[in-house]
């Protein structure tokens, strides 16, 4: 049986696998965030509210007359990570289909996992190191639009950096020693990353009296949430792709 | 879809336009979904700030700029 005819499942099939992987990974990330992050969110909100009470001139704050209770927000965490995960899984699946003809490996699972790793590096870790996550009480509401735009731009630049890395890897050529190809990849990635870090504006909006340990713990939990999300998407999507190929090839017929 | 030789592209030329539309629609829908979770302040969803507040913790812990 010619492998290639069985290895290209329709777009919708791949998309459904991505959405499913993303939804499950999103819920897992939500569970991680609930356990590792919620205590820090809670502590930060306590600080925020204490500050709001001492200086009423600072304006009405969202948490005061919130339409959603704290318990609702804790449950909404799972809704947010689940939906966000599904969206990211679907986008990953779409990228997978679009890049299918350019990949160098015929291992569906491996390429899916590689793509998720690239997304984690480019869309999460690179932006995070420039614009780390902030707990409630950190961040000036007046600059939210500016911070949102620069954050999104940084996500794009992070993905460009990963792309530059893969360009470097391929530019060196297959006959070169592996370490040279890796060096070219790292070089291309670091070049774009460094230039974007220098060019993009910085925001220093952490209040002077905000506890440094709480900020660190929150940021670690936030990064962990994204790592769980993308690791989960990558592994689940890879498993589903491999399972699908095996079934199509008739190696392991499952019902 | 694919017929004889393994060197043929994975997508049939006639199906390319359809695939392109499906991809564009998918990306648009998923981007809207991600937007609603991560960035909406009620302007698009017409839910006031309900959705925004409901997913408040998720936004913070996903690392998106919040407020």
Mean per-residue pLDDT for A244-250?
82
Return the pLDDT at A183: 96
Q: Contacts of residue B24 in chain A, CB cutoff 8 Å?
A: none
Domain map of chain B by residue range?
A: 13-62
A75 and A10 fall within a common domain: yes
Print the domain residue range for A193: 139-205
Contact A15 B54 (CB under 8 A): no
Nearest to A77 by CA among A123, A39, A48: A39
The helix/strand/coil state of A180 is helix
A12 and A107 fall within a common domain: yes
Per-residue pLDDT of B11-65, as tens digits, reads: 555 578 888 899 999 999 999 999 988 887 766 666 667 888 889 999 999 999 8
pTM of the complete model: 0.87
Please indicate, yes or no, if residue A218 is contained in any of the structural domains: yes
Which of A19-28, A171-180, B25-34 has the highest average model confidence (pLDDT)?
A19-28
Tell me the C-alpha distance between A206 and A137, whole Å.
Answer: 8
DSSP letter assigned to residue A100: T
Write out the two tokens for A221. 């939990």
A17 and A27 fall within a common domain: yes
Collect all residues with Cβ–Cβ distance below 8 Å to A81 and sequence separation of at least 6.
A26, A27, A29, A30, A33, A225, A229, B58, B61, B62
Domain count, chain A: 2
Per-residue pLDDT of A98-134, as tens digits, reads: 988 777 777 888 899 999 999 999 999 999 999 999 9
Return the pLDDT at A234: 97
A29 and A66 fall within a common domain: yes
CA distance B44 to chain A (A): 15
Tell me the C-alpha distance between A214 and B16, whole Å.
Answer: 51
What ipTM was predicted for this assembly?
Answer: 0.85
Please indicate, yes or no, if residue A186 is contained in any of the structural domains: yes
Given a cut of 50, is residue B2 above it in pLDDT?
Answer: no
Return the pLDDT at B46: 63
Please indicate, yes or no, if residue A78 is contained in any of the structural domains: yes
A98 and A144 fall within a common domain: no
A33 and A82 fall within a common domain: yes
Given a cut of 50, is residue A60 above it in pLDDT?
Answer: no
Return the pLDDT at B38: 87
Tell me the C-alpha distance between A50 and A209, whole Å.
Answer: 12
Given a cut of 50, is residue A219 above it in pLDDT?
Answer: yes
Answer whether B45 touches A (CB < 8 Å). Answer: no
A134 and A145 fall within a common domain: no
The helix/strand/coil state of B49 is strand
Answer whether B43 touches A (CB < 8 Å). Answer: no
Please indicate, yes or no, if residue A255 is contained in any of the structural domains: no
Given a cut of 90, is residue B6 above it in pLDDT?
Answer: no
A179 and A219 fall within a common domain: no
What percentage of chain A reaches a pLDDT higher than 70?
A: 90
Mean per-residue pLDDT for A2-28?
84
Q: Contacts of residue A222 in chain B, CB cutoff 8 Å?
A: 60-63
A171 and A200 fall within a common domain: yes
* Chain B from 2 to 41: CB within 8 A of any A CB: 2, 6, 9-11, 19, 22-23, 26-27, 30-31, 33-34, 36-39
Q: Contacts of residue B33 in chain A, CB cutoff 8 Å?
A: 83-84, 86-87
Name the pLDDT band for A252 (thresholds 50, 70, 90): low
Dihedral angle sign, alpha carbons of residues B57, B58, B62, B65: negative
Mean per-residue pLDDT for A227-252?
89
Return the pLDDT at B4: 42
């Amino acid at each position: 049986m010619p492998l290639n005819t069985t290895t290209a499942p329709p777009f919708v099939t791949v998309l459904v696998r991505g959405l499913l992987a993303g939804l499950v990974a999103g819920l897992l990330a939500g569970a991680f965030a609930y356990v590792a992050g919620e205590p820090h969110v809670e502590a930060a909100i306590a600080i925020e509210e204490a500050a709001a009470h001492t200086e009423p001139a600072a304006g009405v704050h969202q948490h005061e007359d919130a339409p959603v209770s704290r318990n609702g927000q804790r449950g909404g965490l799972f809704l947010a990570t689940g939906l966000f995960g599904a969206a990211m899984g679907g986008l990953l699946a779409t990228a997978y289909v679009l890049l299918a003809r350019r990949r160098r490996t015929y291992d569906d699972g491996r390429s899916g996992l590689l793509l998720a790793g690239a997304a984690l590096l480019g869309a999460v870790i690179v932006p995070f190191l420039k614009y780390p996550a902030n707990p409630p009480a950190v961040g000036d509401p007046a600059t939210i639009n500016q911070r949102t735009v620069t954050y999104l731009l940084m996500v794009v630049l992070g993905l460009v950096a990963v792309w530059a890395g893969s360009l470097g890897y391929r530019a060196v050529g297959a006959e070169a020693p592996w370490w040279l190809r890796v060096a070219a990849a790292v070089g291309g990635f670091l070049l774009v990353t460094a230039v974007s870090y220098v060019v993009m504006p910085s925001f220093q909006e952490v209040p002077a009296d905000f506890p440094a340990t709480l900020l660190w713990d929150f940021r670690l939990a936030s990064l962990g949430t994204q790592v769980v999300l993308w690791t989960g998407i990558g592994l689940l999507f890879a498993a589903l792709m491999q399972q699908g190929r095996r079934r199509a090839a008739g190696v392991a017929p499952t019902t | 879809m694919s017929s004889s030789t393994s060197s043929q592209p994975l997508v049939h030329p006639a199906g390319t336009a359809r695939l392109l539309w499906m991809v564009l629609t998918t990306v648009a829908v998923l981007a809207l979904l991600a937007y609603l979770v991560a960035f909406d302040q009620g302007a698009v969803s017409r839910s006031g700030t309900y959705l925004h507040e409901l997913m408040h913790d998720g936004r913070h812990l996903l690392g998106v700029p919040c407020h």
